[in-house]
Structure 1
């Protein structure tokens, strides 16, 4: 019932990590690290050092707050007010 492919690690796209930044300056000054205020914070998501394999490019991104219906589909996008 369908196809199954196994992709070698050498051809999978990579990134070195994720940086979350509160774009609400007041909230950012009150809290440190990856701590956010539920109805005030506006979280920006950056995928660090994204890289395709064998000359490929990454054409899509997705970050979300689970069960909150808050999604961004661009690198450097914002999730919006929590």
Structure 2
């Protein structure tokens, strides 16, 4: 049984809820205290006004994937 890939916007919404991601944003100079502010910082970083555009704008999606990759790398370094 094949699962459909998770849309970038859905993945982003889930990640923005994670405390460690919010802490990562702060460590990158992006003030962030909660999920709402994390979403705002991601939108600013990606140059979009809605996370839904991560699914339709290749440039925004590439920016999100770079940010997500940096976050994942920060988790690996903490081990």
TM-score, length basis structure 1: 0.25
Instruction: Give the structure with the larger helix fraction.
Output: 2
In the superposition, the TM-score normalised over structure 2's length comes to 0.26
Instruction: Give the number of the structure with larger relative contact order, counting CA–CA contacts within 8 Å between residues 6 or more apart.
Output: 1
Q: For the pair shown, which has the larger CA radius of gyration, 1 or 2?
A: 1
